[in-house]
């Protein structure tokens, strides 16, 4: 008798649990796409102004898709298949605005003179000059911009045999088949009471498509404040509590503020140019960055104009961030965009073809 009573009590309990679980799944099904839209708007509108959204900017965006793995089979098994539409919406938000997917387009063609440009963060040439030069020889650019490069030794001599015009300043190296009419190393920027390098160079090039103001960019990386390049080390620091030593929030905020000030300085100068402008390099600004939209929104992006896919360039082995970019004034157009140079740096290189509109 007691056993029968216990069994009858267990049935309503199981039914209540299933009902509660079903309501939870349905609520999550509706809430998940809304949450993804909120995350995207927070990245795009707040971005580097808050340490949480700054950190999220550099997280692998595919990780935001983890709820799909649970919600899709749960809705299917519950028979709530109409609600799978909510997950389709979530997937579209995930892969397009958040992950930055660009569909194949016409890309445009160039009938007149064009310019082949290559930009590459070579990571202090740890893989060796020969590896980097092999990729330059394969791409055959008219102009190559290197960031985090060294000058002297084999690299200097090799570039001078390939390009009649070469220049070097701090971490920036340029090789050009066309005359470099001028080189400008900008003044330092004031950040938190200290004079800091703006981390870009400006060149004027006499090219087949006319004189160009060319900017080679490499604002400060977030790696020092967030450790995005060393996840094993970061996980260890979280496990041991070391990551909370000091003031990590302030470190991320200060790092982002310096990066934004460097980017703002370059964008401000570029917007005042009387010549057509090309901006290229490791921007350290991922997709959906508020600073990227705010500072460089007036310039066209080579990947969006002539590329397709995700265009990720960092880290090179399993990339999930598009940091390396080429942008241009409206008077210029892109007819080709490629990502390449595997196993030569911690970044992948970008090569483009540019012509006049």
Beta bridge partner(s), residue 217: 200, 281
Amino acid 225: pLDDT? 46
- SS3 at position 228: coil
How many other C-beta atoms can be found within 10 angstroms of the C-beta atom of residue 297?
10
Amino acid 229: pLDDT? 45
How many other C-beta atoms can be found within 10 angstroms of the C-beta atom of residue 111?
7
Amino acid 59: pLDDT? 92
Amino acid 231: pLDDT? 43
pLDDT confidence bin for 14, thresholds 50/70/90: confident
Inter-CA distances, 184 with 164, 180, 275, 309, Å: 19, 11, 15, 35
Give the least confident one: 58-72, 192-206, 229-243, 295-309: 229-243
pLDDT confidence bin for 106, thresholds 50/70/90: low
Q: Rounded distance, CA 229 to CA 314, Å?
A: 9
Amino acid 109: pLDDT? 64
% of the chain beyond a pLDDT of 90: 76
Q: Which residue has the tokens 């960019």?
A: 217
Q: How many CA atoms lie within 13 A of 9 on its CB side?
A: 6
pLDDT confidence bin for 154, thresholds 50/70/90: confident
For every residue of 320-339, DSSP letters joined together read -B--EEEEE-TTEEEEEEEE
Give the least confident one: 25-39, 143-157, 203-217, 280-294: 143-157
Q: Rounded distance, CA 354 to CA 206, Å?
A: 14
Give the least confident one: 203-207, 243-247, 278-282, 302-306: 243-247
| Average pLDDT score over the chain | 89
Six-digit token string for 82: 């109409």
Each residue of 28-79: pLDDT tens digit? 999 999 999 999 999 999 999 999 999 999 999 999 999 999 999 999 999 9
Inter-CA distances, 200 with 186, 188, 286, 324, 348, Å: 7, 10, 18, 14, 19
Answer whether residue 226 shows pLDDT above 80.
no
Q: Rounded distance, CA 298 to CA 267, Å?
A: 10
Answer whether residue 313 shows pLDDT above 70.
yes
Which H or E run includes 262?
helix 248-271
Q: Rounded distance, CA 350 to CA 279, Å?
A: 12
Q: Rounded distance, CA 21 to CA 268, Å?
A: 54
Topology of the domain comprising 114-356? Deoxyribonuclease I; Chain A (3.60.10)
**227 or 258: which carries more pLDDT confidence?**
258
Give me the residue spans of the domains in the chain: 2-98, 114-356
**15 or 140: which carries more pLDDT confidence?**
140
Residue 292 neighbours by CB under 8 Å, 6+ apart: 263, 283, 285, 286
Six-digit token string for 270: 């570029």
Amino acid 11: pLDDT? 62
């Amino acid at each position: 008798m007691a056993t029968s009573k216990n069994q009858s009590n267990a049935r309503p309990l199981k039914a209540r649990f299933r009902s509660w679980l079903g309501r939870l799944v349905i609520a999550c099904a509706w809430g998940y796409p809304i949450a993804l839209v909120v995350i995207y708007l927070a990245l795009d509108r707040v971005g580097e102004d808050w340490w949480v959204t700054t950190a999220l900017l550099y997280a692998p965006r595919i990780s935001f898709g983890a709820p799909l793995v649970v919600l899709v089979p749960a809705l299917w098994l519950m028979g709530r298949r109409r609600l799978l539409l909510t997950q389709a919406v979530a997937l579209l938000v995930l892969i397009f605005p958040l992950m930055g997917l660009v569909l194949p387009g016409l890309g445009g063609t160039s009938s007149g003179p064009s310019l082949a440009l290559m930009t590459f963060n070579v990571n202090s040439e740890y893989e060796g000059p020969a590896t980097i030069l092999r990729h330059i020889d394969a791409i055959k650019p008219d102009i190559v911009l290197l960031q985090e490069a060294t000058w002297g030794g084999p690299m200097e001599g090799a570039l001078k045999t390939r390009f009649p015009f070469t220049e070097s300043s701090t971490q920036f190296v340029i090789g050009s088949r066309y005359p470099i009419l001028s080189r400008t190393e900008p003044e330092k920027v004031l950040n938190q009471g200290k004079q800091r390098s703006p981390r870009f160079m400006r060149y004027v090039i006499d090219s087949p498509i006319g004189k160009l103001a060319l900017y080679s960019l490499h604002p400060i990386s977030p790696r020092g404040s967030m450790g995005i390049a060393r996840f094993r080390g970061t996980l260890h620091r979280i496990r041991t509590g070391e990551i909370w030593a000091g003031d990590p929030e302030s470190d991320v905020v200060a790092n982002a503020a310096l990066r934004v000030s460097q980017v703002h300085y370059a964008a401000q100068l570029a917007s005042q140019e009387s010549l057509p402008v090309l901006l290229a390099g490791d921007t350290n600004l991922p997709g959906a960055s508020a600073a990227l939209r705010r500072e460089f929104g007036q310039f066209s992006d080579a990947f969006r104009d002539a590329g397709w896919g995700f265009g990720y360039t960092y880290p090179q082995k399993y990339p999930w961030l598009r940091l390396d970019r080429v942008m241009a004034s409206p008077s210029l157009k892109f007819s080709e965009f490629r990502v390449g140079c595997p196993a030569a740096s911690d970044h992948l290189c970008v090569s483009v073809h540019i012509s006049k509109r």
